[in-house]
Amino acid sequence: MNEYEALAKFFHDTYEQLAPSFGYKTRKASRKRWKDVPENNRNLMVAVAGGVYGFLGIVQLQTANADLAAELKAMTLFHEDAKKQIKTWTDRWNDLWEENRWRTTEDITDEEMEWDKVVEALPDGAKVPVFMTMAEIFLDEGSDITHWRPATLPEGE
């Protein structure tokens, strides 16, 4: 027995069982157990059950599609929010990089020159920076400082 026939049998048996509760009496001639229902009637009920299965399948697909559409919308909104957040982080990273990157001693403008400003300085060939003022770097003609960047000093220094 396939699912269509099982549904048709269930409908037939349930109909016969519930009919009296609704004040309806099936004709004695047509009141039969499923196995005794004439083949053409049984085939009709099986075909109707197949239609019901098809309808329920469509409803289920529509529900699944609506759920999927809602999920995709949420993912799209999340994706857009994530893209905005990534852009914010990237912009902040770029700003920090620009503010803190190592620069060559030739790479400075007059507007940036603050003689008493403390910066991190990297002597030629060194791997560990030292703290110096810009005056110590740029006014000492024999300076071996090749790179510098703004310093972040500990609080109170």
Domain assignments of the chain as residue spans, ordered by start: 3-99, 101-150
pTM of the model: 0.41
User: Which regions of 19-140 does DSSP assign to beta strands (E)?
Assistant: 103-104, 118-123, 130-133
pLDDT band at 156 (very low <50, low <70, confident <90, very high): low
What mean pLDDT, rounded, does the chain reach? Answer: 82
Residue 4 in tokens = 């269509």
153: pLDDT strictly greater than 70: no
Query: Cβ atoms within 10 A of the Cβ of 100, count?
Result: 13
